[in-house]
Amino acid sequence: MTTKTSGHRPGSLRVRQKREQVRLDILQAAQEILGEQGVDDLTLAAVAGRLGMTKQALYHYFPSKEALVNSLVTTLLDEEVEVLVAAVERAAAGDNILGTLIRAFYAHYIDRLDAFRTIYCQSQLYSAPGLPLDTGTLRDQINPRTRHLFDVLEDRIAGASVSKVKRARARQLAFTAWLSALGLLTMLGVADATRDPLVHADTDLLETLSTVFGAATDR
């Protein structure tokens, strides 16, 4: 007499869990190097050295720097969306939702400009197909994450309205506000890289953007 067993043995589960933990450790080390030294120094050799593993061992998890950056981008974007969604959901009824979004975006990245550049500028440095960010990563990893953010924003701005026109306008406003925050951080990144500060103070720019989108939302 034989007994049926599941297809997942305890040993294989432990192996998968250990492999996933190593993968997370690699991404954490990559984030640390990115924050401390910048994207130019984010290499497989640097990550392997920080973790005390060989570069060959690292290849079992990420076969190239491009593969590592792809995974790092999705990890960083997860953090961004989590922070922005939490800020928007904490806002009280009647608060300036899009102003909250813009300020949260700024606060999340102002001291992490290399993380911002990795997500939003890295793809412009590559032209070969399959390098960050490839269409598969965009379709399967990036787009669902940003779509969730805009779903939350649409619901907060449109409220209980079921009007397709009102909800479409709310979503477009949310997207435009997010683009404005992205543009501000892009210019601040340029100013940081060139050591040429913007003419206007960050606080003034944030207040202006917040006021403009707050007024647009109330119309």
> Residue 170 belongs to what domain range?
65-218
Do 45 and 135 share a domain, yes or no? no
Give the model's pLDDT for residue 126: 53
Do 86 and 42 share a domain, yes or no? no
Q: Which residue has the higher pLDDT, 133 or 102?
A: 102
* Domain limit, last residue, from 15, 39, 63: 63
- CATH code of residue 101: 1.10.357
Average pLDDT over residues 197-210: 97
Average pLDDT over residues 6-32: 82
Q: Which two tokens stand for residue 187?
A: 């210019």
Q: Which residue has the higher pLDDT, 104 or 143?
A: 104
Angle between helix 164-194 and 97-109 (nearest 10): 30
Q: How many domains does the chain have?
A: 2
Q: Which two tokens stand for residue 126?
A: 């590559």
Do 13 and 95 share a domain, yes or no? no
**8 pLDDT higher than 60:** no
Do 126 and 22 share a domain, yes or no? no
* Domain limit, last residue, from 33, 63, 93: 63
- Residue 208 sits at the vertex; the CA angle it makes with 202 and 164, to the nearest 5 degrees, is 125
